[in-house]
Structure 1
Amino acid sequence: MPSEQEAPVAEGIKPRAAVLRTREYHPPLGSREGVRLDFNENTLACSPRVLEVLGRISRAELTKYPERGPAEKLVAAHLGVMPDQVLLTNGVDEAIHVLCQTYLDAGDEFLLPVPTYSMYEVYGSSTDARMVFVPAAADFAFPEEELFRRITSVTKMIALANPNSPTGKSVPRGTILRLLERAPQAMVLVDEAYYHFYGETVLDLVGRAPNLVVTRTFSKAYGLAGLRLGALIASHEQMQWLRRMISPYSVNGLALACLPAALEDHAYLEWYVAQVREGRALFTAALDRLGLPYWPSQANFVLTKIGARHREFVAAMRRRDVLVRDRSTDPGCEGCVRITIGVLEHTRKGIAALEESLAEIGWKA
């Protein structure tokens, strides 16, 4: 064995070509002190019952490998699907990764309406498939006609965030049904991360449409973003392949222990969703009053059009301890800023900071 000083130096070792072309994702986290209206999280807290569970977890419990099965049965009952149709994941990000690794191969195409959630592109481009981007129609309307036109025999996956981020736009159920029929050779992912603020779902189609996959997250309304927990729902036939591609221990034991308490606290979930929906109406009314352009949203955020001074606006909001997300680098979103809607207290603080920040940068309608 060579000594440490004599260890050979690896030269010219490179990753796969797909890795080299994958766009690296840099979450703009940094210091996040203040009112968090930047990442579409629950802006307040999780259910108090979750904290009670955390307080009861013993040191011995942390020595065990986590087991998904019991929690998946609870989630299946909660969602009204069969237990073998649910796979818990380390956030929806892992669900997207597993889908891409399971279905995308060289020569395949991944159709992606844009702008949308960044991780679809990140994980899709890490495979040998070709990414096909379909720009949104006017006012970020779903590009149904163009998307259908781009479907071919090599289309293997299509991803729809419903409602979409960063726009807050939704895709009608009828359009999803036609897409499932039009592309039977492709897995169609309907990401329902913002379902609770929208209220419409296609979960009832799982199993009936063999090429449908639905994802849900516990990071938004449930307030468990720090525990990283998502759910992938698909037919039994597809699930047998998806389970081959996921680590058996990727969901941590703390998340699995806390999940039942979060699911059981219906009152807290209903309260938080009601706060967001009321806050969304309050916030858009303020935007109307100020003359600030925005797109009506079905989610827990609103995309606004600040224009050329978007960076100054984001900085001015931060000086007032309110964090918002600049989305100007997303396709078609130049000058746009996304603002999360949380509890009413935080929404009111956001509106006050918005008014002051627009005045500071000299923005005029």
Structure 2
Amino acid sequence: MSKPQITSEIKPRPRVAAMPEYHPPLGNRDHLRLDFNENTLACSPQVKAVLDNISATDLTRYPERGPVEALVAEHLGLAADQVILTNGVDEAIHVLCQAFLDVDDELLLPVPTYTMYEIYASSTDARLVKVQADADFKFPFEKLLAAITPKTKLIAIANPNSPTGSIATREQILAIANAAPNALVLVDEAYFHFYGETVMDLVGKVPNLIVARTFSKAYGLASLRIGLLAGNAAHLRWIRRVLSPYSVNMIALTCLTAAIRDQSYLDWYVDEVTQARVEFLAGLTRIGLQYWPTEANFVLVNIGGAHKQFVADLLGEGILVRDRSADPGCDGCVRITIGTRDQMRIALDVIERSMTGISMTRI
């Protein structure tokens, strides 16, 4: 007797079915990783020492984020109830959208920018309002101000922005927060260390300001998935309600404590990358490639119609870079992470050979 054929399918919510999908590039991750804006070298030696001493018994216990949140808050000059640790900034964005975006609300989003703002917002019943940057990719301040309405509930500003490396000034952020008192203004400072300017000191002073940070970039803890939200304690209360109490694991919490105590290693790595950035951008200028000013550990480069060939050329030489041509206004653009000076000298040599080959095929 044959089994009955199952033809029915349980459908997701319409908003989920309509969500854009994110497919990160996978494979070949042992190459020179200039595609995800990670730390391209290593985490702090103190973090490695902690990892080496984690016992089998340690793994049997549920994690406790509270004590580490208090330590991180003190490190940032904030009160413990003004900081939430999350499973990367991705979870921070997700729970922020879940806690505050409802039917008829609007998320205001300057584009191009980090993809996950749109993805997580699209799972809610809010409306996404995109504000396109001009061809120079400068922060579209005036356009954003003009787009604020009584329905604006959340404004997401990556600062510095990915994939462009552009920044919003402190004055612009304050003006936006003042113009939208009934909306939360998320300032995502994932790349803060390579820029040096922050609005973290305004947390608690500007009531509708929320700041995100990650430990995946400069700190080199991307695999541990740990980030944070800092903001008005009254707002964070509702975020805690939708946040899993165990979403940040014990290994991440233990390593984070070591990472923030090793300031000298962090300072060394950031200094190395910022020096490499100056040298690498000068090299791109010498080659004749157009790029946009950046305050992050990456640069957006205009390769043009040969962008796919360029990415393939570098992959063939063991270097991963990120094609961003599908981003709004970024046709022909490739984003390149900036690592150490030695790494970027290797990359620049390969880039120059690739562009020479591409130029030859056009003759």
Short-chain TM bin: over 0.9
| Equivalent pair of 1:305/1:337 in contact (CA under 8 Å) | yes
Query: 1:113 is matched with which residue?
Result: 110
8 Å contact from structure 2 (residues 135, 329) kept in 1: no
User: Which residue in the other structure is 2:68 paired with?
Assistant: 71
Q: For the aligned residues, what is the CA RMSD?
A: 1.3
In structure 1, the residue matched to 2:38 is 41
Confirm or deny: 8 A CA contact 1:162 1:192 kept in the other structure: yes
Aligned residue for 1:236? 233
What is the match of residue 164 of structure 1? 161
Q: Are 2:250 and 1:247 aligned?
A: no
Q: Say yes or no: does 1:205 pair with 2:202.
A: yes
The 5-angstrom pairing of residues 205-354 of structure 1 reads 205-354=202-351
Task: Pick closer, same or farther for the CA change 1:239–1:10 going to 2, 3 Å.
Answer: farther
Look up the SS of the partner of 2:349 in the other structure. Answer: helix
Which deviates the most, 338-347 or 309-318? Answer: 338-347
TM-score, normalising length: structure 1: 0.96
- 2:183 counterpart (178, 181, 186): 186
For 1:249, what is the secondary structure of its paired residue?
coil
Which residue number corresponds to residue 126 of structure 2? 129
Q: What is the identity, as a one-letter code, of the residue corresponding to 1:25?
A: Y
- Higher mean alpha-carbon deviation, 245-254 vs 350-359, is at 350-359
- In 1, the alpha carbon distance for the partners of 2:272 and 2:137 equals 26
Cα deviation for residue 10 of structure 1 reads: 6.7
How far apart, CA to CA, are the structure 2 residues paired with 1:318 and 1:359?
A: 16
CA contact (8 A) 2:156 2:187 kept: yes
1:97-108 matches, cutoff 5 A:
97-108=94-105
Which AA in structure 2 matches 1:18?
R
5+ residue gaps in structure 2?
none
Instruction: Tell me the CA shift for residue 362 of structure 1.
Output: 2.0
Q: 1:6 to 1:252 in 2, by over 3 A?
A: farther
Cα displacement (A) at 1:33: 2.2
User: Which residue identity is paired with 2:8?
Assistant: E
Alignment of 1:19-38 (within 5 A): 19-38=16-35
C-alpha contact (below 8 Å) 2:109/2:128 kept by paired residues: yes
Paired residue for 2:12?
A: 15
Contact preservation (8 Å) 2:39, 2:339: yes
Q: 1:52 aligns with which of 32, 49, 70?
A: 49
Count of residue correspondences = 360
Partner of 2:84: 87
* Counterpart secondary structure, 1:160: strand
TM-score normalized by structure 2?
0.97
Alpha-carbon distance between aligned partners in 2 of 1:23 and 1:305, rounded to the nearest angstrom = 25
- List alignment gaps of at least 5 residues for structure 1: none
Distance 1:87 1:28 in 2: 29
Question: How big is the shift at 1:241?
Answer: 0.6
**Partner secondary structure for residue 230 of structure 2:** strand
Q: Describe the shift of the 1:77–1:10 C-alpha distance in structure 2 as closer, same or farther (beyond 3 A).
A: farther
Q: Distance in 1 between matches of 2:157 and 2:183?
A: 13
> Which amino acid in 2 is paired with 1:266?
Q
Structure-2 separation of matches of 1:71 and 1:155: 33
Asked whether the 8 Å contact 2:275–2:341 carries over to 1, the reply is: yes
Q: Deviations over 1:194-219 (max 9, x none)?
A: 00000000011111111111000000
Give how far 1:8 is off: 8.9
1:7 to 1:44, Cα distance in 2 relative to 1, 3 A: farther
**Cα shift at 1:29:** 1.8
Partner of 1:141: 138
d(CA) in 2 for partners of 1:86, 1:6 = 55
